[in-house]
Amino acid sequence: MKRQVFNPFLPLDEYIPDVEAHVFGDRVYLYGSHDAEGGKRFCELDYVVYSAPINDLSEWTCHGVAYKKSQDPRSKPGRPVDLYAPDCVRGNDGRYYLYYTAMGPNVKNFGPMSVAVSDRPEGPFSYLGDVCFPDGMPMTTFLTGDPAVLNDNGRIWLYYGWGLGLDLRNKLLAPLYNYVMSKIFDRPVKEIRNTYPHILGANVVELEDDMRTVKSGPKRILDARTTADKKSELYHHAFHEAASIRKIGDTYYFIWFSGKDGELCYATSKYPDRDFVYRGVIISNCDMGYRGNKRRLAADGTNHGSIECINGQWYVFYHRLTHNTNFSRQVCAEPITILPDGSIPQVEMTSCGLNGKPLIARGVYPAIICCNLFNKHTHTIGRWKRRQPHITHDGNDRFITDISHGTTIGFKYFEFDDINKISVRVRRAKGTMLVSTEIGGTALARINLSNTSEWATFSAPIRIEKGVHALYFTYKGKGRMDFLEFEVG
């Protein structure tokens, strides 16, 4: 690794969520949605593809626009569709196939899944067609969101689905539920009522070699909450959206977002189309559940990701939320361990995910590489409109805003060796910044802050024991502060 890399690991003005990471040859490629910075809805921009050498995950290259919204035939002049979470696979013919669902203007929600094709993994891709049954009818059974695709020794498996995260089994309210779902999904009530076992859930089809004709299925592989056994662990971590699939040895790993606490869950099976068993949580984008943690250490919201083995090390790719909305999401990654029994212990969010080691505790770092950002009011984004500390931007500045009394900003991890000063660059602050190496730990420095309308730097002496430590800043003061960067040295 030639230089340090931190989370988020792409340029700080880039917003690529829903990432599927795939190694093709000697590079790893990222396929994801494309949010706008400070956007007002999901997936506003064209697809772009990033890649890096498998032996240097600090050197990410943007290959430019890989597929334009206007290339989908449902786009109209001035009213393009939005391209939701994609996945890419190498076909048996050696070409690369990009699967997606178009949403937004001109399209019924959860219409056909579509596929584009390229001779190169980075694209550009050309529209090929919709996933169809042998008679040519578009395959729209169940809800066709978030396609995930696997080439399993020549057999092509396409996974997809959606779930509300609600238990809709109340028979008295069933007619109302069905009516509401018909409006949300643009499906007739009769279709919703008659779909077995339920329109909500995770599903799979096998495709022909043409990569778009259904060979078998659709088949239900995992329940949404409305059909899961109430006594099972799956009921509490049921499938909501964000399907992802990998095969490790002879075991299939199905990954999804449960809609709860920003968590990515997984189930395993010895078969690609049945018998998946819930195994646990890989990561939460608020660190809920990590080592028993029951507190949101960041504002959680949507999550969608994947796992991939890169140069011998497995990683989980996930996204974090910015701008206090679900519409500006950035990809992050953490190393994971797959144990001999096939389980994946939950990992925590860090600021140094792909770095391979802690960051060097010397020099200037952007505040927005924080992995923890919380106060006593931190909540799930989209549930309430209440203000809370969040990452935002203003021109070329990217910073944390709405930092109120009691807010903690955490960075994990650094390798410390003989530092004696710590500085913060802030504005609109009136109070003190306490610095520690543990949440709620002893203050090792107290930085006095003055109220300025422009960015200003404030410093204090500090001594931190040599070794690997987290770094936490806690604001004690009045008003709502902005935090641009900090320096250790």
Catalytic residue positions, numbered: 18, 241
CA distances from 387 to 2, 97, 135, 181, 390 (A): 39, 42, 52, 30, 9
Tokens of 87: 């996945």
End-to-end CA distance of the chain: 23
174-178 long-range CB contacts below 8 Å, 24 or more apart?
none
CB 109 within 8 A of CB 144: no
Instruction: Determine phi and psi for 70, rounding to 5 degrees.
Output: -70, -15
CB 67 within 8 A of CB 78: no
Which candidate, 160, 295, 146, places its Cα nearest to that of 214?
160
In which residue are the tokens 């936490």 written? 472
CA distances from 166 to 40, 162, 169, 224 (A): 25, 12, 9, 8
CB 358 within 8 A of CB 366: no
258-262 long-range CB contacts below 8 Å, 24 or more apart?
258/165, 259/163, 259/164, 259/165, 260/165, 260/236, 261/286, 261/288, 261/289, 261/296, 261/300, 261/380, 262/286, 262/288, 262/298, 262/300, 262/301, 262/302, 262/303, 262/380
Tokens of 336: 């994971």
